[in-house]
Chains A and B, each alone.
Chain A
Amino acid sequence: MNSIQQITGMVFIIVGLGFDIFGCIGLLRLPDVYNRLQATTKCVTLGTCSILLGAFILKGVSTTGIKAILVAIFLLLTSPVAAHALARGAHKSGVKLWPKSVVDKYEQDGN
């Protein structure tokens, strides 16, 4: 029982670290601000939530475990809001889309 708990927690932590690395590669590779924001806000948020879930599984229902679950819920609620605000600010400050982009309805509507 104890070893199953350990192995499940370790698997969650390894998956979370992998998604964190993929998100950071996306931050380096993708061409403009909006695509980078997509990669980081998805991969890094779920990767960190997976690490926190691993901590909850390793520690069980204790002080550390319940705090980890609270931090995970908080991150899932606030990180998309921050991404939305940053994308809006970048567009208002005049950052252009990637030149090969297909369409920009937001600029056509005069914002």
Chain B
Amino acid sequence: MIIMKNLKWLIGFGILAASLLFIMLYPIPSLLSWQSGFLAHCFFVLMLCFVMCFFRVMAGPTPADRAVAIDTLGILIVGFCAILSIPTGRDWYLDIAIAWALQSFIGALALAKYLEGRGFDE
């Protein structure tokens, strides 16, 4: 009875756990594995987050939902750049992260102004 009640939750949790296990156990022939094999798996965990955000971008019932998902996507990409800079040892990945955080913030403000339905010069 309890299982029938929570069936939707169980299916979702099962799919998520299965994909996480698949990501963590699948042997990735990565270019980065000469320094750290573990970090190469971390990229694909973030890819899973990207897929969830893209689902919300496509399915969001109102424009505000899509704006929230795009803002989240911008913050996740900053984390992606940070992970990428550790095994390769190239510090300009973090320059990309700074620029991306700035433009994501300004983009979120512009989307909010657009949702508010007024001009930009107030």
Contact = CB atoms under 8 A, between A and B. Distances in A.
Interface residues of B, number: 49
Nearest to B64: A90
B86 A48 contact: no
B52 A55 contact: no
A67 B113 contact: no
| Size bin of chain A's contact surface | 35 or more
Contacts, number: 146
B32 interface: no
Contact of A33 (B42, B68, B113): B68
Given A24-B53, A33-B68, A78-B105, 4 more contacts: A55-B83, A55-B85, A86-B67, A89-B112
Interface of B: 16, 20, 38-39, 42, 45-46, 48-49, 52-53, 55-56, 62-65, 67-69, 71-72, 75-76, 78-79, 82-83, 85-86, 89, 91, 94-95, 97-98, 101-102, 104-105, 108-109, 111-117
